[in-house]
Amino acid sequence: MKAPEFSYVKPGSLGEVFDLLDRHGDRARVLAGGQSLLASLNLRLSEPELLVDITGVPGLSGIAVSGQTVRIGALTTHRQIETSAQIARHLPLLAQAVRNVAHAAIRNVGTFGGSIALADPAAEYPACAVALDATFVLAGRAGERRVKAREFFRGLYETALNPGELVTAGEFPLAGAGYQSVFLELARRHGDYAIVGLAAHALVAGGRISDARLAFLGAGSTPVLAVRAAAAIEGRQPDAQAIAAAQATLAEELEMLADLYSSRATKLHLARVLLGRALGALAA
């Protein structure tokens, strides 16, 4: 299928973007890397009159470390994240996760902000942002505001973005001393969206795990922070008993949605397998 007819504009400033979004309301859509939006147009899942291409807006791209924060601009591509020495050093969870985002051709143009704004529950960055307690910077005509990742994802493809607002950046606290990260996912083929995945980040000392942030993807309509599983493992070594106790909490905590290929029971089983592997790997 071909996309319906639409107009296209490439403004050179945020002010112009806000003017266009004000004027056209929900008849306009923001275009970043286009890797999800153009596919949805071609499938006629969306029929906007105007695409507002934000790739000409300066200041929205790049990775910068300042103080205790890594800032990732919305237009930073998956490829830039994948090849960044700063991400590898300061956000090893994201460095592991990005290798699972789609295929190389898509990673070359798809953007961080596009993935966050799309809020696919099986996407890698949203779960990492929740595990790492990141904050998103949102900007609109009324100015800038910051929203915690844990409050940003509201429902299936639903976020805290107001009409006319953009994601301009993500701010991630630097990984603290002694923290370890493990990202795991199961997909039908490498590069496909995950069936289930887990972004795990925890303090590990003397083989014991504490302050575990276990964010699942593909396990509900948003990323899910498994707080009961974290409590079950708190202060313990991940031996078979501790892992089983953490795994046992998942049935209550994860609101698994069946998809075309996997039942809820299969997905729950896979989530338990990933949790066991991740807890073992964190303390290894």
Residues of this chain that bind ligand FAD (CB under 6 A): 29-37, 39, 74, 101-102, 106, 110-111, 113-115, 117-118, 123-124, 166-167, 193
CB nearer ligand FAD, residue 102 or residue 215: 102
Taking the complex as a whole, the smallest distance from the CB of residue 106 to ligand FAD amounts, in Å, to 5
Least Å distance, CB 108 to ligand FAD, is: 10
**DSSP three-state, residue 140:** strand
β-strand partners of 225: 215
* Residue number with CB closer to ligand FAD (123 or 283): 123
Rounded least distance, CB 98 to ligand FAD, Å = 9
Least separation in angstroms between residue 34's CB and ligand FAD is 4
Task: Calculate the CA 33 to chain-centre distance.
Answer: 16
Pick from 117, 123, 183, 185: nearest CA to 154: 117
Residue closer to ligand FAD, measured from CB, 167 or 283: 167
d(CA 155, CA 160): 10
Q: Can you point out the beta strands (E) in 20-152?
A: 28-31, 50-53, 63-66, 69-73, 135-140, 143-148
Q: Closest approach of Cβ 105 to ligand FAD, in Å?
A: 9
Closest CA to 1 of 31, 55, 30, 42: 42
Instruction: Name the residue nearer to ligand FAD (CB basis): 117 or 242.
Output: 117
Give min distance, CB of 90 to ligand FAD, in A. 21
Cβ 86 to ligand FAD, closest distance in Å? Answer: 20
CB of 241 to ligand FAD, least distance (A): 34
Strand order of the β-sheet with 143-148 is 63-66, 69-73, 166-173, 135-140, 143-148
Residue 16 one-letter amino acid: E
Return the number of the residue (87 or 204) whose C-beta is nearest ligand FAD. Answer: 87
Give 138 or 229: the residue with its C-beta nearer to ligand FAD. Answer: 138
Our CB check for ligand FAD shows the closer of 33 and 238 to be 33
CB 183 within 8 A of CB 124: yes
DSSP letter (8 states) at residue 236: B
> Residue 30: what residue type?
V
| In contact, 209 and 171? CB cutoff 8 Å | no
Our CB check for ligand FAD shows the closer of 129 and 166 to be 166
Q: 151 vs 113, 136, 155, 171, 186, CA distance in Å?
A: 16, 10, 10, 14, 26
Structure tokens at 208: 């014991």
Stretch (H or E) spanning 177: none
